Structure 1
Amino acid sequence: MQKSKTFRLTLLALALSLAGCAVGPAYQRPSAPESIAFKELEGWVPAAPADALERGPWWQLFADPVLDRLVAGVEVSNQNVALAAANYAGARAAVAQQRASLFPNVSLGLSGDRSGVRSQGAESSYRLNLGGSWEPDVWGRLRAGVTSAQAGAEASAADLASARLSSQGELASNYFTLRALDAQSALLTRTITGYERELQITQNRFNVGIAARTDVLQAQTQLANARSEALSLTRQRAQFEHAIAILVGKAPSQFALAPSADWKVAVPDVPVGVPATQLQRRPDIAAAERDVAAANAEIGIARAAYFPNIGLSGSLGSGGSRVGDLFSVSNAAWSFGLSAAQSIFNAGATRASVAGAEARHQAAVARYRQTVLNAFADVEDQLTATRVLVQQQALRRQASEAADLVEQQIMNRYRAGQVGYTEVVQAQFTALNARRSLVQVQADRQTVAVALIQSLGGGWQAGATP
């Protein structure tokens, strides 16, 4: 009895002492390309206050209640966000599953059967068994599995944040484009009304012999073209309205946005920090870094195959011909054992597995660094676009105001008989294009502001979980 007790204690002490070993490499965050400052920040006017993005959802910076309501629908109804949320829930379940492997597995079995022959009668037998097994994490393989699963879950959390930010940004861009189309439609409606009036005036002048037939035909052509452009805007608006419906998780037939000609262009000042801050804000960078951590843990799992698998098992059971015998101490039987298995030849499969894990880790590091570089370029692009569009808007406004004056002067000269109607058509065409270009550059400023916020990571913070 003393020997068996000593044997059990020895096995348990051996397993616990080996459980502190680990063969996986310690994780170190990979170095990333550095940038002291954004090149395109020269001449940038910082937002005031500088922490504007941290005071609430970023889309509220545009002060549009309709947009606020639509973005709220993305959180609960967008299917891409729902998919990412489901993937995150699955990743968390995988972590729990991996953690469970660190603990013993205990099972309870109860069986009973009755058998016999006709000449001897029947006999009953019952069996109660309590068994357990445990694989001590001798070489750190199981802990590496937990680490890998946890890093994968954190990457899934970042993917969820990225999917949410992407859907919110796409909705905001589509919404601002739709409102710009509304503004252009209102502009064309007023223009068409003016063209109709000019056609009637030209027709009256032709009827009394003052204007030529070609003047009437030119006025009719210009009016028809303007009406055709209005229909084209209607088609484009419908497409963006359908896209918004999908983003908020609704069928296009069940969604509608009323046109709004009263479009107020709000372009917020977006705070831009130092490049190092961006590494903490962007969810795609966080996801790429967590992928590196998971790949690093996989190296430890692969290396553990060089060492034997050690397992502990034990059981306690009893049996008898009656149910009451199951609880009799004299019928109890127990067993306790230690097992070890080691592959002694597999033609280099283990070595290849380790090399593959190390290669996947190197690939993950490269993807992480490329993601950082792409993020820097993305911000630089949006900063350039923001600065250029501000300058373009001022020039477009000047061009529109000048074209309006030319149009009015040419019309007055035509009515005085000093110029032909061709010059009127050309002046009106130029003025309309200048007005539409001004509307378009205003919309571009809003969509670029959205893109800049996205490139800075929106309101997502590193370490935050959904």
Structure 2
Amino acid sequence: MKKRLSLALLPVLMPLLHACTTVGPDYHVPAHAAVHAPQANGPLLGTKHPAVSLAPVPDAWWRLYDDPKLDKLVRESLTANTDLRVAAANLRRAIAMYHEVEADNLPQASVSAATARTQISGESFLMKEKIPVFSIGDVGFSVSYLVDFFGKLERADEAALASAEASQAALDMARVGVVAETVRAYVQGCAATHEYEVAERQLALQERGVDIARKMVAAGRGQPVDALRAQAQAETLRASLPHFKAEQEKAAYRLAVMLGKPPAALPAAEAECHEEPRLRQAIPVGDGAALLKRRPDVRQAERELASATAKIGVATADLYPSVSIGASAGLTGLLSDLGTGQTAHWALGPMLTWNLPTNGVRPRIHRMEAGADAALANFDGVVHKALQETQSALSAYTKELERNLALRAARDNASEAARQNRLLYQAGRAPYLSSLDADRTLAGSDAAVAASDSEVAIDQINLFLALGGGWQNSPDVTK
């Protein structure tokens, strides 16, 4: 009977064997995708500034600061950061899912064994007598193989592999963020210390002015109001110190978290820094084409598009028959007879199943097509965002450098004006108010330069973050 059934299915199977194909669209990045636009692959705007160059972005960009302590902190964060542990676990899950899907291409086998003490109904066999209680046993082995005539398994493999590659890109993007945030926390601590020390120097200078004003009043050469004004200025400078101390502590706490430690576990020496690290060369930025190849979020969006496209083929394959070839063998019968010829059974042959399109297959295909359209739109958006972030960071950095130069020139002039006014006041040739105003202007200029130095350092980090470097050659945290 089984042989006759197998022969009866051959006329159905033979056309399928000749028609073996992979349904659904073959993936390629659409020609009209934003990543192919000439404007996206050309030079970045603003690269003629002397502070930037067209050289390729180095993998370990933080080493351009030539700061061994910073290098050590980044290496530690790349092995201990909790965000990286999450991203690594997600990647391992995606890889396991890919292997799970890949296993569907292999023959599926199962073994079963059962025994029971049973009472069978006599009437189910049209018998009036009661059938005695007896013990039965069943031992079986079966194997089946799904013939992938229409590429459903192949498309499923493509989708799972692309998803795993997207997870790898997500891990790389997490590495970019961890490196940037580690450097940022370190630099913000340096900047807060720098501004604190500037404020301390200005306070010491102002307190000397207070002492001079009091001596002038005592000698009858000054007005008491001058001493009060000097004291008020000193207290204003002193009021800024707690703010900078708080910024130091917050930066240290953020740095500890980036290193995978509780805030109290970070030794003070690891975060100690008195001035923002400075680059030894112009920032290398490359061009748009290199940027889009380097940014992990662009790669992640492209892989998500590939996965969404492959899923269309998985859904389309359900329009066609599914053919499996299987075999089974076993023993079923009374325990006392198990193993004898009359308890043996076996089967061999193909099995064909076909879900009619009315079972929601076509709507599922349309859903997958819409998902691919959404993935393409997201891919285009990520490309535009990458370019926008880089151009904005580049503009902010170069403009802040210009502002920093102007502030330094203003600070130098304010310093000379304060020195001359102080000499004139001490010689009794100018009122103290003029000297006080000059010192106040100098204090403001010093604070503005220190704040701008901090902003320049942060803008450098924002630019490196937008450029997407820092994930290459990172420690393997997926094991």
TM-score (ref. length: structure 1): 0.89
The corresponding residue for 1:62 is: 65
Question: How many correspondences in the alignment?
Answer: 459
Aligned counterpart in structure 1 of residue 180 of structure 2, from 164, 169, 176 = 169
Alignment of 1:310-349 (within 5 A): 310-319=323-332, 321-322=334-335, 325-326=338-339, 328=340, 331-344=343-356, 346=358, 349=360
The corresponding residue for 2:38 is: 34
The corresponding residue for 1:97 is: 100
Cα gap change, 1:257 to 1:324, in 2 (>3 Å): farther
Shift of 1:198: 1.9
Cα deviations across residues 206-247 of structure 1 (Å, max 9, x unaligned)? 223222111111111111111110111111222222222222
Moved more, 128-137 or 221-230: 128-137
The corresponding residue for 1:272 is: 285
Q: Given that residues 282 and 460 in structure 1 are in contact (C-alpha distance below 8 angstroms), is that contact kept between their aligned partners in structure 2? A: no
Query: 1:230 aligned to 2:241?
Result: yes
Q: Given that residues 19 and 137 in structure 1 are in contact (C-alpha distance below 8 angstroms), is that contact kept between their aligned partners in structure 2? A: no
CA distance in 2, matches of 1:461, 1:184: 34
CA distance in 1, matches of 2:276, 2:318: 65
The corresponding residue for 2:126 is: none
Moved more, 334-343 or 214-223: 334-343
Moved more, 102-111 or 155-164: 102-111
Shift of 1:267: 5.3
Tell me which amino acid in the other structure corresponds to 2:167: S
Cα deviations across residues 369-405 of structure 1 (Å, max 9, x unaligned)? 1211221222222222333233233222211111111
Aligned counterpart in structure 1 of residue 296 of structure 2, from 235, 260, 283 = 283
Q: Given that residues 147 and 324 in structure 2 are in contact (C-alpha distance below 8 angstroms), is that contact kept between their aligned partners in structure 1? A: yes
Query: 1:203 aligned to 2:206?
Result: no
Which segments of 5 or more consecutive residues in structure 2 lack a partner in the other structure?
A: 121-129
Moved more, 415-424 or 230-239: 415-424
CA distance in 1, matches of 2:420, 2:15: 97
Alignment of 1:46-445 (within 5 A): 47=53, 50-51=55-56, 53-54=58-59, 57-114=60-117, 123-258=134-269, 259-261=272-274, 263-266=276-279, 268-319=281-332, 321-322=334-335, 325-326=338-339, 328=340, 331-344=343-356, 346=358, 349-445=360-456
Cα gap change, 1:268 to 1:300, in 2 (>3 Å): same
Cα gap change, 1:263 to 1:140, in 2 (>3 Å): closer
Cα gap change, 1:124 to 1:217, in 2 (>3 Å): same
Q: Given that residues 267 and 449 in structure 1 are in contact (C-alpha distance below 8 angstroms), is that contact kept between their aligned partners in structure 2? A: no
Which segments of 5 or more consecutive residues in structure 1 lack a partner in the other structure?
A: none
The corresponding residue for 1:17 is: 17
Secondary structure, in 3 states, of the residue corresponding to 1:135?
A: strand
Cα deviations across residues 110-142 of structure 1 (Å, max 9, x unaligned)? 22234579x999754332100123332222122
Q: Given that residues 15 and 138 in structure 1 are in contact (C-alpha distance below 8 angstroms), is that contact kept between their aligned partners in structure 2? A: no
Shift of 1:2: 11
Tell me which amino acid in the other structure corresponds to 1:53: P
State the identity as a percent.
26
Cα gap change, 1:120 to 1:25, in 2 (>3 Å): closer
CA distance in 1, matches of 2:275, 2:47: 33
Tell me which amino acid in the other structure corresponds to 1:338: P
CA distance in 2, matches of 1:422, 1:173: 41
Secondary structure, in 3 states, of the residue corresponding to 1:81?
A: helix
Q: Given that residues 206 and 439 in structure 2 are in contact (C-alpha distance below 8 angstroms), is that contact kept between their aligned partners in structure 1? A: no
CA distance in 2, matches of 1:444, 1:389: 7
Cα gap change, 1:98 to 1:227, in 2 (>3 Å): same
Shift of 1:152: 0.6
Tell me which amino acid in the other structure corresponds to 2:425: Y
Q: Given that residues 267 and 445 in structure 1 are in contact (C-alpha distance below 8 angstroms), is that contact kept between their aligned partners in structure 2? A: no
Cα gap change, 1:273 to 1:320, in 2 (>3 Å): same
CA distance in 1, matches of 2:24, 2:2: 39
CA distance in 1, matches of 2:91, 2:75: 20
Cα gap change, 1:223 to 1:43, in 2 (>3 Å): closer
Shift of 1:196: 2.0
Secondary structure, in 3 states, of the residue corresponding to 1:53?
A: coil
CA distance in 1, matches of 2:444, 2:350: 85
Secondary structure, in 3 states, of the residue corresponding to 2:138?
A: strand
